[in-house]
């Protein structure tokens, strides 16, 4: 008679799990003036990169894995990445290789822009590499964006004379390749081409970059220090890594600290920023049309006194989600808020306070568990890097 094998199947994820507001957990008990977070599909967990401040302007860069299973967070042990790091780093997972790519400004006397990869096997990483993407000056506000359906990443940054100083908005393209790297075959970032200056007719800072899959373009928002506006520019990157770009346009006036997200349902660009006149947290919604941003809606206020912010799009709830520090509260708190885009405007729900005032904040979406995860640093009651998760109703 035929033999029947009983196979235990892994339960399918709930297509519509219940809403959930989590409890913050500690990642590391250190002083960190910046933390960045990204999601790894291969690991099915979040990665948080943060800089531990060891002296004024000098940091040691670490990352930790944050498990998001079963609506509860847990953090892995910190992994050391680099010493002498300036602020304004970023991290992403390159999905083809599954490697973590971190970009940072080196503060170890070399004054260059560096990037590193970390390759994972199970709960451990087996290889790490370091290459240089900006060999002559110190970049500030480093953004890393993966170019879909390729092994390419774009480093978007301010090419600064000193860390945190304004300068031209610049792009450098890298490929995550498996090749010989100092005698061993492993994944590393192979820099291709030369730096491309996208905007260079004034002083600029605070770049934020995302990829718009519908127009197949890189979108960059930044503060124009000469006009005190947030401008936006579109960039196309071909198969050879050649960058072409459109003309900058004004997205918001009297504004700084822009953060971009893309509503893939409404197919809209969503700009979150700080109003420089009154420190309101505001959002404007626009549409990409060719190489221009058009049909920009009026500003919508979601916080009366804001400091630090980060946004993402949650396709499960169909909402933009923003984590931020609310200084209008006494004492200040770290909040999370959701907003629904309709046309060229957005309607916000009530905010939720989940911790003391943050010193930095970063938010990302976990598609497996349909969670948004915020990593952030606080100073009160003690210096700590933390993580918080929430799931919002569809």
Task: Centre a 10 Å sphere on the Cβ of residue 61 and count the other Cβ atoms it contains.
Answer: 24
Average per-residue pLDDT for the chain: 90
Whether the predicted pLDDT of 99 surpasses 70: yes
Nearest Cα neighbor of 375 from 13, 47, 131 is 47
- Residue-wise pLDDT for 209-254, tens only, equals 999 999 999 999 999 999 999 999 999 999 889 999 999 999 999 9
Contact between residue 286 and residue 299 where contact means Cβ atoms under 8 Å apart:
no
The rounded distance, in Å, linking the Cα atoms of 12 and 14 is 6
Q: What pLDDT, on a 0 to 100 scale, did the predictor assign at position 8? A: 40
The dihedral formed by the CA atoms of 264, 368, 91 and 389, expressed in degrees to the nearest 10: 100
Look at 127 and 57; give whichever has higher pLDDT. 127
Cα atoms in the Cβ-side hemisphere of radius 13 Å centred on 82? 27
What single-letter DSSP state applies at residue 44? T
Most confident residue range from 139-148, 193-202, 241-250, 357-366? 357-366
- The answer to whether 261 touches 272, Cβ cutoff 8 Å, is yes
Question: What's residue 9's pLDDT?
Answer: 43
CA distance 74 to 333: 23
15 within some domain: no
The region that residue 95 occupies, defined by phi over 0 for left and psi between -120 and 50 for alpha, beta otherwise, is alpha
Cβ(231)–Cβ(199) below 8 Å: yes
Phi, psi of 70 (to 5 degrees): 60, 30
- DSSP letters for 182-241: TTEEEEEEEEEEEEEEEEEEEEEEEEEEEEETTTTEEEEEEEETTTTEEEEEEEEE-TT-
Asked if residue 102 is part of any domain, the answer here is yes
Report the pLDDT value the prediction gives residue 55, as an integer from 0 to 100: 81
The predicted structure's pLDDT at residue 10? 43
Return the pLDDT at 161.
74
- Burial pattern 184-215, b for ≥16 Cβ within 10 A else e, equals eebbbbebeeebbebbeeeebbbbbbbbbeeb
Distance, in Å, from the CA atom of 387 to the CA atom of 246, rounded to the nearest integer, reads 38
Using the 8-state DSSP alphabet, how is residue 357 labeled?
Answer: P
Tell me what percent of the residues of the chain surpass a pLDDT of 70. Answer: 94
**10 is a domain residue:** no
Q: Which has the higher per-residue pLDDT, 176 or 16?
A: 176
Among the listed residues 35, 129, 44, 61, the one whose alpha carbon sits nearest the alpha carbon of residue 95? 44
pLDDT cut 90: percent of the chain above it = 71
> 1 lies in a domain?
no
Contact 209, 145 (CB under 8 A): yes
Q: What is the pLDDT of residue 90?
A: 93
pLDDT of residue 82: 83
For the ranges 87-101, 113-127, 373-387, the lowest mean pLDDT is seen at: 113-127
- Per-residue pLDDT tens over the stretch 164-195: 788 899 999 999 999 999 888 999 999 998 99
Q: How many structural domains comprise the chain?
A: 1
pLDDT value of residue 112: 80
In a domain, 5, yes or no: no
Q: Which tokens go with 68?
A: 């998001």
CATH of the domain at 165: 2.120.10.10
Query: What are 40's two structure tokens?
Result: 């790894």
Closest to 212 in 3D by CA, of 229, 236, 231: 236
pTM over 0.75: yes
For 176, the domain range is: 20-391
Ramachandran assignment for 369, one of left (phi > 0), alpha (psi -120 to 50 degrees), beta (any other): alpha
Q: What is the pLDDT of residue 87?
A: 65
User: Cα(261)–Cα(321) distance, rounded to whole angstroms?
Assistant: 9
Quote the pLDDT of residue 12. 54
Token readout for 374 is 């915020």
* Residue 2 pLDDT: 43
What is the predicted pLDDT for the residue at 6? 43
**Do residues 254 and 231 lie in contact, with contact meaning Cβ atoms separated by under 8 Å?**
no
The pLDDT value recorded for residue 369 is: 94
pLDDT at residue 108 greater than cutoff 70 = no
User: Average pLDDT in the 139-154 region?
Assistant: 93
Look-up of token digits 């709930």: 14
Report whether pLDDT(39) > 50: yes
| Nearest Cα residue to 258 out of 269, 274, 244 | 274
For CA atoms 354, 357, 359, 361, the dihedral sign is positive
Among 331, 389, 390, 321, residue whose Cα is nearest residue 358: 331
End-to-end CA distance of the chain: 49
Domain membership flag for residue 24: yes
Predicted confidence at residue 3, as pLDDT, reads: 44
Instruction: Label the pairing between strands 306-314 and 300-303.
Output: unpaired
Q: Flag whether 29 is in a domain.
A: yes
Neighbours of 357 (CB within 10 A): 18
Tens of pLDDT, residues 253-298: 999 999 999 999 999 999 999 999 999 999 999 999 998 898 999 9
pLDDT, mean of residues 316-332: 97
Give the pLDDT of residue 11: 47
Residues in the chain: 394
Q: Average pLDDT of 93-108?
A: 86
Does some domain include residue 383? Answer: yes
């Amino acid at each position: 008679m035929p033999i029947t094998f009983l196979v235990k199947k892994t339960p399918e994820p709930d297509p519509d799990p219940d809403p959930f507001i989590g409890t913050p957990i500690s990642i590391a008990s250190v002083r960190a003036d910046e933390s960045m977070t990204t999601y790894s599909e291969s690991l099915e967990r979040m990665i948080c990169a943060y800089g531990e401040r060891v002296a004024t302007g000098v940091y040691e860069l670490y990352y930790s894995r944050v498990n998001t299973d079963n609506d509860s967070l847990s953090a892995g042990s910190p992994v050391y990445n680099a010493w002498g790091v300036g602020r304004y780093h970023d991290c992403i997972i390159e999905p083809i290789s599954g490697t973590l790519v971190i970009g940072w400004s080196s503060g170890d006397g070399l004054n260059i822009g560096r990037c590193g990869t970390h390759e994972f096997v199970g709960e451990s990483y087996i290889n790490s590499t370091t290459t240089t993407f900006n060999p002559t000056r110190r970049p500030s506000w480093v953004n890393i964006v993966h170019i879909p359906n390729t092994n390419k990443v774009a480093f978007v940054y301010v090419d600064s004379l000193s860390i945190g100083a304004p300068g031209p908005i610049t792009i450098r393209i890298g490929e995550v390749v498996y090749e010989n790297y100092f005698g061993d075959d492993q994944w590393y970032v192979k820099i291709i081409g030369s730096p491309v200056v996208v905007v260079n007719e004034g002083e600029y800072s605070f770049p934020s970059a995302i990829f718009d899959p519908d127009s197949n373009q890189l979108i960059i928002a930044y503060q124009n220090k000469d006009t005190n506006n947030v401008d936006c520019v579109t960039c196309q990157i071909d198969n050879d890594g050649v960058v072409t770009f459109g003309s900058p346009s004004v997205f918001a006036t009297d504004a700084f600290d822009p953060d971009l997200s893309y509503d893939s349902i409404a197919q809209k660009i969503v700009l979150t920023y700080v109003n420089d006149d009154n420190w309101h947290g505001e959002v404007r919604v626009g549409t990409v049309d060719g190489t221009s941003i058009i049909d920009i809606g009026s500003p919508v206020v979601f916080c009366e006194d804001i400091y630090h912010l980060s946004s993402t799009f949650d396709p499960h709830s169909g909402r933009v989600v923003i984590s931020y520090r609310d200084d209008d509260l006494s004492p200040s708190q770290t909040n999370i808020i959701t907003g629904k885009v309709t046309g060229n405007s957005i309607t916000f729900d009530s905010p939720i306070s989940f911790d003391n005032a943050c010193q930095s904040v970063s938010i990302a979406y976990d598609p497996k568990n349909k969670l948004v995860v915020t990593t952030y640093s606080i100073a009160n009651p003690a210096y700590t890097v933390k993580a918080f998760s929430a799931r919002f109703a569809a």
